Amino acid sequence: MSPEKLTMMANQIATFFKTQPGADGAERLAAHLNDFWEPRMRAQFFAHVDAGGAGLDPLVLEAAQFVRRPAEA
Amino acid sequence: MKDFIIPWDDKDMGTPAKSGKPVHLTIDGAKVTVPEGTSVMRAAAEAGLDIPKLCASDNLEAFGSCRLCVVEIEGRRGTPASCTTPVHEGMVVRTQSEKLQRMRKGVMELYISDHPLDCLTCAANGDCELQDMAGVVGLREVRYDAAPEKANHFATRDTSGQPNPEWLPKDDSNPYFTYDPSKCIVCNRCVRACEEVQGTFALTIEGRGFDSRVSVGAENFLESDCVSCGACVQACPTATLQEKSVIEMGVPQRSVVTTCAYCGVGCSFKAELNGDQLVRMVPWKHGKANRGHSCVKGRFAYGYADHPDRILKPMIRERIDEPWQEVSWEEALGFAAKKMRGIQEAYGQKSIGVITSSRCTNEETYLVQKLARAVFGNNNTDTCARVCHSPTGYGLGQTFGTSAGTQDFDSVEKTDVIVVIGANPTDAHPVFGSRMKKRLREGAKLIVIDPRKIDLVKSAHIAADHHLQLRPGTNVAVVSALAHVIVTEGLADEAYIRERCDWDEYLSYAEFISDERHSPEATFVLTGVDPDVLRAAARTFATGGNGAIYYGLGVTEHSQGSTTVMGIANLAMLTGNVGREGVGVNPLRGQNNVQGSCDMGSFPHELPGYRHVKGAEVREVFQKAWGVEIDPEPGLRIPNMLDAAVDGTFKGLYCQGEDILQSDPDTKHVSAGLAAMECVIVHDLFLNETANYAHVFLPGSTFLEKDGTFTNAERRINRVREVMAPKAGYADWEVTQLLANAMGANWHYTHPAQIMEEIALTTPSFAGVSYDVLEEKGSVQWPCNEAHPDGTPLMHVDGFVRGKGRFIVTEYVATEEKTGPRFPLLLTTGRILSQYNVGAQTRRTENSTWHQEDVLEIHPHDAEVRGVKEGDWVRLASRSGETSLRAKLSERVSPGVVYTTFHHPDTQANVITTDFSDWATNCPEYKVTAVQVGLSNGPSDWQERYAAQAEQSRRILPAAE
Ligand code: SF4
Ligand code: SF4
Ligand code: SF4
Ligand code: FES
């Protein structure tokens, strides 16, 4: 998947959690990724984050610390 | 061959059942107790005393025209008609006497004197109530001459050879039934069926006395308002309205009760046969979803089952540019298994996956996901429900705690305010649409939220009280504005909320929604909905009594699909409309088994029963049952599979009964993904569009050829019964098992009942379901378990499944898909009555009489500025691609909006749709695409290239002998 598409998807999810009350938006966003993103997608996600995470919403970047790093395939 | 399955008692009781306090009476000396309001006719029938009748039928209100059902009542003068006479306490009735017999003979004599006596060669011979009644009343002679020189309706010419002006020719314009006026006894049953059961009002009786006739108000049936539901044909006691299949094949001799395989209503049918030849489908009166009604698809459109296009032999090929090679089952399965295992060795365990089908049975779906989880060893399973109702699962799961509609269909009979959002029940869920219309005629209010003027907005004898004709893509804004009005005008049901919902969450929600930015006045610029209309609708919903919300794909197929579902749940909780009859939140599921395929663990993150794969206890249940380790990581969803395929990490797919190339958005992306795979196995009835990219084709079986269950939109588990042997040799569940075993599994199911046993064993909401239970009860709604042995018609009755109902903040976010100078119009998509989904089945039936091609509905104003006239070829372009189709000028759409269906592969409407999707579930955004429309002179280059590729890839070489 292209980094642009991945960024768009992650940001779309962030858009929802940003509107939710409470201070745990990053945790909840991360939980969503852990629940629904297959390890390959999370690996691509980390590759992009590790490369600076261009275009990612700040909430996504904050959430990255709570996202489970997939085991090396 | 299957035994004769005796349908539970099917007798016609003459008039509809009533509920009321018990009334005692005596009929022919027998004591009878029936509810108040019951007719004497029905009371007698319940005592086993059948009174002769012609114009009465228990699915229609009594009419009292034939006077065959006369009885004597002690203390009352004359001979009243028993169908129109209600019982009362202490009544003493006689159904037989010399006088009554004489009167009945007289009635029959009159009928027969104007009826052609060609019974032996009549299509209804053996299935004609006029014949039966002649026998029952002992008609032995006809004193009035049935003579051609007298005025009559049946002789084509009089004795002098002049044409008889009273005679009318047969109307066989409808592809499925004929109307032969010479046989009509003007009993009015057809007219009442069309009004009361179907709600179309296509038929009337014209003229009086001898001149009265059934009229369709048009040249013929096909030209009329008739939607070909067949209710009138079923109601007709004679051969006047008759199925063409019966005319051709004769009266059927045996029947099997089964379930329609088209839409999520899940109508029960009697498949009526001679030997293994299906003669007709008759909706089963005890079917709890349909109560004896059906639509044109279920009743008539089964011809695809023996269409010559069906592929009955397995086929393989090394590369997709080669022709297909017909081979034995063994060879095909061996070839497939070797390829799939080979891919896993080369690219890893997670490089292959499955797609289950919402058309197949629960048992088949369960096996396909089990194939992925237990045999492939990964969670790469998804279903076409991804592209329609995945946001329902997510949204309702978050708010209520379970991913399903809250009501049964009967509930609509108690509803006072019906809200229809992004659904078109009269076209997509016709039988439920008819039941809804019946309730509307009884006075329920209707709110329609839809960019198009759907039929419900205005049709015979119904009209929406409020139509919120919103701009596509603004559902969240409209739903939030409704909530804003309810909360700020103090219409919320706070007592209910305090008792049932999380109060703190409500308070923060109320604060959020009360903000001015959600007011109808503020959202008007986004939605285009008149604030006064919106406020009025909100007040009607909040104060009008039982309010029920029905929604469809117009809600889910958006980038904010899940958010809208949550907004709908909020509305229902705000107004106290969950947890009893007549209310609720009801997703109308598209295909027959969308509900079931979701229940059965088709999603990559969930095991059967909506339990996330990360849960160790849940995995343990299946590990024990299957004897394998289950991967705790979620698998790939369909769009992710295609992305991974393009990336080169996903190489093999087993796709059962699903045509992702035609039904999924952004066709070019799908074809690129498929083309990148090394082994695509398509298991289907026809060489569908996806099969153009397949290496293995496994022939599928129709719903007539297998046993199993479907679960409809009301969570009702209905039995599908084998009506004839599988034409390709195996039912679909057997094929999946053979593939699993070829890949090294050791499954040995011998009947789908055993698969259901395994489902019941592993899935708590199905714990009480078995084929025996279904045999006994006909159907059950899940949850069905120890706590609810008879199933659960209404959910959340004593509180929400998740405990407290949860209000979720729903902020409107504009879709990225925006109109601009290049693409100034918004395209939205939908479906029509006579066709089904991608049309693979319905296109192969006479239903194409009504819909030969997809057309583009465009507002006359938008058409005019583009120089487009009715019927012109137009080019429809988006940033994804372009296609061509014919234009239809229509005021059903607002200016700025265009609409089409996606039933035909030549149109390829999905070349246009983009890969935007719901934020939570990746359900594609079919309902909003920015487009431009212009004149063109025929199919686009892409369409022609596509057609050529399809042609090329469908070549078949016969098996070498
Ligand atoms: S087929 Fe249905 S719609 Fe058509 S006339 Fe008969 S009852 Fe009415
Ligand atoms: S067409 Fe059939 S149902 Fe209709 S009035 Fe004539 S006999 Fe009765
Ligand atoms: S309403 Fe749906 S389930 Fe019923 S007959 Fe029509 S297509 Fe089949
Ligand atoms: S059946 Fe009662 S009047 Fe016809």
Residues in chain A within 8 Å Cβ distance of B922:
9
- Is B894 within 8 Å of B469 (Cβ atoms)? yes
**Residue B579 pLDDT class (50, 70, 90 cuts):** confident
- Closest ligand 4 atom to residue B84 Cα is 2
**Each residue of B721-754: pLDDT tens digit?**
999 889 989 999 999 999 999 999 999 999 999 9
**Each residue of B95-130: pLDDT tens digit?**
999 999 999 999 998 888 888 888 899 998 888 999
Nearest of B312, B265, B318 to residue B288 by alpha carbon: B265
Both structure tokens of A61: 């970047």
Per-residue buried b or exposed e for B25-47, using 16+ beta carbons within 10 Å of the residue's own CB: bebeeeebebeebbbbbbbbbbb
Nearest of B2, B707, B586, B710 to residue B287 by alpha carbon: B710
**Each residue of B667-703: pLDDT tens digit?**
778 889 999 999 999 999 988 888 989 999 999 999 8
* Domain residue limits at A36: 3-66
Fold designation for B825-953: Barwin-like endoglucanases (2.40.40)
Question: How high is the pLDDT of residue B917?
Answer: 75
In a domain, A42, yes or no: yes
Single-letter amino acid, residue B508:
S
Q: Which of A9, A20, A38 sits opposite B634 (nearest CB)?
A: A38
* pTM exceeding the 0.95 threshold for the entire prediction: no
Question: How high is the pLDDT of residue B5?
Answer: 44
CA distance B743 to B758: 21
- pLDDT above 60 for B511: yes
- Is B112 within 8 Å of B93 (Cβ atoms)? no
CA distance B307 to A42: 46
For chain A, what is the domain count? 1
- Closest ligand 4 atom to residue B69 Cα is 2
Asked if B508's CB is within 8 angstroms of A36's CB, the reply is no
- pLDDT above 80 for B557: no
CA distance B695 to B437: 47
Would you tell me the crossing angle of helices A3-19 and A25-36 to the nearest 10 degrees?
130
Question: How high is the pLDDT of residue B949?
Answer: 77
> What H or E segment, with its residue span, contains residue B719?
strand B716-720
CA distance B477 to B469: 13
Would you tell me the crossing angle of helices B752-762 and B616-626 to the nearest 10 degrees?
150
Nearest of B370, B331, B316 to residue B742 by alpha carbon: B331
Q: DSSP state, B517?
A: G
Domains of chain B, residue spans: 2-96, 139-306, 315-388+594-781, 391-587, 825-953
Q: Which of A21, A34, A70 sits opposite B809 (nearest CB)?
A: A21
> Which residues of chain A, if any, have pLDDT below 50?
none
Residues in chain A within 8 Å Cβ distance of B635:
38
**Residue B7 pLDDT class (50, 70, 90 cuts):** very low
ipTM of the complex: 0.92
**Distance from the CA of B293 to the center of ligand 3, in angstroms?**
9
- Is B4 within 8 Å of B272 (Cβ atoms)? no
Asked if A13's CB is within 8 angstroms of B919's CB, the reply is yes
Question: How high is the pLDDT of residue B168?
Answer: 82
Both structure tokens of B290: 């349909």
* Strands, sheet with B324-326, edge to edge from the N-terminal-most edge strand: B381-383, B352-356, B652-656, B679-684, B696-699, B315-316, B324-326, B956-957
Question: Dihedral (C-alpha) B683, B686, B687, B689: value to the nearest 10 degrees?
Answer: -90
In a domain, A24, yes or no: yes
Question: Dihedral (C-alpha) B438, B444, B450, B454: value to the nearest 10 degrees?
Answer: 30
Closest residue on chain A to B632 (Cα): A35
What mean pLDDT do residues B49-54 have?
93
**Each residue of B158-197: pLDDT tens digit?**
777 788 888 888 889 888 999 998 889 999 999 999 999 8
CA distance B810 to A1: 29
**Residue B143 pLDDT class (50, 70, 90 cuts):** confident
In a domain, A73, yes or no: no
**Each residue of B267-291: pLDDT tens digit?**
999 999 998 888 999 999 888 889 8
Q: Which of B649, B809, B919 sits opposite A40 (nearest CB)?
A: B649
Phi, psi (deg, nearest 5) at residue B148: -55, -25
Question: How high is the pLDDT of residue B459?
Answer: 83
Classify domain B315-388+594-781 by CATH architecture: 3-Layer(aba) Sandwich (3.40)
Q: Which one of the ligands is nearest to B833 CA?
A: 3
B186 CB near ligand 2 (under 6 Å): yes
Both structure tokens of B600: 């059965």
B842 CB near ligand 3 (under 6 Å): no
DSSP-based three-state secondary structure for B478? helix
- pLDDT above 50 for B756: yes
In a domain, A61, yes or no: yes
Question: How high is the pLDDT of residue B70?
Answer: 93
Residue ID of nearest Cα to ligand 3 atom 4: B267
Per-residue buried b or exposed e for B438-453, using 16+ beta carbons within 10 Å of the residue's own CB: bbbeeebbbbbbbbbb
B634 in contact with chain A, both atoms CB, cutoff 8 A: yes
B640 in contact with chain A, both atoms CB, cutoff 8 A: yes
**Residue B56 pLDDT class (50, 70, 90 cuts):** very high
In a domain, A71, yes or no: no
In a domain, A12, yes or no: yes
Question: How high is the pLDDT of residue B2?
Answer: 37
Both structure tokens of B330: 């063994």
Asked if A37's CB is within 8 angstroms of B512's CB, the reply is no
**Distance from the CA of B152 to the center of ligand 4, in angstroms?**
23
Q: What's the CATH code, domain B2-96? A: 3.10.20.740
C-alpha separations of B804 from B394, B505, B765 in Å:
17, 10, 20
Nearest of B118, B127, B370 to residue B255 by alpha carbon: B127
B391-587 belongs to which CATH class? alpha beta
Identify the weakest region by mean pLDDT among B69-73, B324-328, B476-480, B850-854.
B850-854
Residue from B919, B921, B922 to probe the interface with A (highest A Cβ count within 10 Å) = B919
* Strands, sheet with B417-421, edge to edge from the N-terminal-most edge strand: B466-468, B445-449, B417-421, B547-551, B584-587
In a domain, A72, yes or no: no
B139-306 belongs to which CATH class? alpha beta
| Residue A22 CB contacts under 8 Å (≥ 6 apart), including other chains | none
Question: How high is the pLDDT of residue B908?
Answer: 63
C-alpha separations of B519 from B61, B483, B571 in Å:
46, 9, 15
**Each residue of B245-267: pLDDT tens digit?**
899 998 999 889 999 988 888 89
